[in-house]
Amino acid sequence: MNRRTFLKGSVITAGTAALCGSVQVKESRTNPSGVGGYNYRLPKFKEGSRLVFQGDSITDMNWGRNESDRNHYLGHSYVYLIAARLGVDMPGARLEFFNRGVGGNCISHLKKRWQKDAVDMKPDLLSVLIGVNDVHGLLAGYDIKEWEADYRSILDASRAANPDLRLVLLEPFVLASGRLKNDAEFKKWRDKTDLLVSIVAKIAKDCNAVHVKTQSIFDAAAKAVSAEHWIWDGIHPLPQGHELIARNWLEEVSGRWNKV
């Protein structure tokens, strides 16, 4: 299967379609994202809503640490792609996007900076992707119950500050590519990642959060093409990997919040 086949399900953005007339493209059954490209329902947000994205290097992707530097303030991860899409399709909503991912972070790092980088940001929507760096700790004997307790505590702090907060939780993920191509090494990483995935699912349910099943999404994509096409080192997505995350994030968020 080639890239053209994979992208066959994509259609032109809603704004462009409105200008050029109706465009219908048959969705490819081999599209592992399960999302029809740009043909998604738009989420509803109150005007001026603040969307904050938290996580590690997968979210970070070299955002500029300076909101006044508008060339680099969002980095080049899935955060940038989501902001670009919604900025085109929902200009009247005047949404504000903030990337607060920090490379190398574990859940303990998020806990230390949570007040400043999450609660004080006063988001209307908070999106979190964390866990891959914690696999190192789990392999070294870190207590999985402590990881869950820390995750719940930071979300509880945000929900206490804003009872109407919209939460989006993405699973950590890993694929057998790059340095994790070795079967034995990959199995160790996958076993621990699966533990974290199960906890994220449980927390998402308890918090009534949108749950983006990132590991399952990448598993399906890897079967359709190859792991290396999406993630170059087992952990960090390539541009098309970030697009895969962005499409599914939009699909899930649009499905949950389609009313103001």
Q: Is 230 helix (H, G, I), strand (E, B) or coil?
A: helix
Instruction: Give mean pLDDT, residues 117-142.
Output: 94
Instruction: Give mean pLDDT, residues 60-77.
Output: 80
DSSP notation for 180-220:
G-SHHHHHHHHHHHHHHHHHHHHHHHHTT-EEE-HHHHHHH
Residue 199: half-sphere exposure toward Cβ, Cα within 13 Å: 22
| Cβ burial, residue 117 (10 Å; 0-12/13-18/19+) | middle
CATH ID of 44-256, from 3.40.50.1110, 3.30.2130.10, 3.40.1280.10, 3.40.50.2000:
3.40.50.1110
| Geometric angle at alpha carbon 58, from 53 and 59, rounded to 5° | 15
pLDDT of 30 over the 60 cut = no
Instruction: Give mean pLDDT, residues 101-107.
Output: 95
Q: What is the pLDDT of residues 217-234, one digit of tens each?
A: 999 999 999 999 999 999
For residue 158, what is the DSSP state?
A: H
Q: What is the pLDDT of residues 79-92, one digit of tens each?
A: 999 999 999 999 99
List residues bridging with 53 in a β-sheet.
99, 127
pLDDT of 67 over the 80 cut = no
Instruction: For residues 223 and 57, give the distance between their C-alpha atoms in angstroms, rounded to a whole number.
Output: 25
Domain spans of the chain, in order of start: 44-256
Instruction: For residues 131 and 147, give the distance between their C-alpha atoms in angstroms, rounded to a whole number.
Output: 9
- Residue 2 confidence (pLDDT): 41
Quote the pTM value: 0.84
